[in-house]
Amino acid sequence: MGLFLKYTFLKKGITILIGLFFLQASFAQQRIVAECTVVYKVESSIGMAQVQEKALKTVYIKSNSARVDLVAPAYAQTTIYNKTTVTATVLRSFGEDKYMTSLNSKQWRKVNAPLDSIQIQYTNDSISILDYPCKKGLLQFKNGDIVTVYFTSAIIPSVREYEYMFKDIPGFVLGYEMIDGAGVKTIFRATQINLYNPVAASKFDIPTKGYRIIPVE
């Protein structure tokens, strides 16, 4: 009986050690990215028809700061987010007209409060983006809208709240798709990722002139 108990405890101990090994290996494969530049191609379509307007999205991450540039033919928008202070500045340009809106931590949370109710469902599907294996997830909003995301768990950005609907995704989102109320499907796909070249600190400077200040309503 004593020999049987010893064998049982030994077997359980080995099982626990194996589990810890794979858990540690999983974490070892993940890399926290604190400085990078990622470029996304943005395309829209209605059914099988391709919409002419296209855009380019660029994400810059440096430590606890993030910047997102979205440039389309008719407009440009930049969001600069600071994780430490939980503040953001949004810059918008329409031709020669330029507007700036600053949000303190309370305003940032209020603006994004509707996104806290998002339900995330992970699937067994996966694709490859820039040679990164990406898992598929479905983000369901309270109004029934669904955003499909593709993320890699191999790398994790040091700042995730800059794109608030992705803040709970356990990895780096390299692609996502959404359909608006008019039936327009917009697809974002990462086409470039640079994890080695430093991002200039000036990317996160807030302009002091040239913009009309628009307060948060």
Domain boundaries, the chain: 31-213
Residue 38 near residue 21 (C-beta atoms within 8 A): no
- Who has greater pLDDT, 202 or 16? 202
Q: What is the per-residue pLDDT for 4?
A: 38
* CB distance 100 to 117 below 8 Å: no
pLDDT at residue number 160: 93
**Whether residue 187 has pLDDT greater than 60:** yes
Q: 181 falls in which pLDDT band (50, 70, 90)?
A: confident
What is the model's pLDDT at position 216? Answer: 87
Top CATH class, 31-213: mainly beta
pLDDT at residue 50, as a whole number = 62
Q: Give dist(CA 70, CA 157) in Å, integer.
A: 19
Task: Check residue 51 and give its pLDDT.
Answer: 58
Per residue in 21-79, pLDDT tens? 333 434 446 889 999 999 999 998 876 666 556 899 999 999 999 999 999 999 999 99
Residue 5 has pLDDT above 70, yes or no: no
Structure confidence at residue 54 (pLDDT):
83
Nearest to 167, CA basis, from 70, 42, 62, 83:
83
Count, residues in the chain: 217
CB 186 within 8 A of CB 177: yes
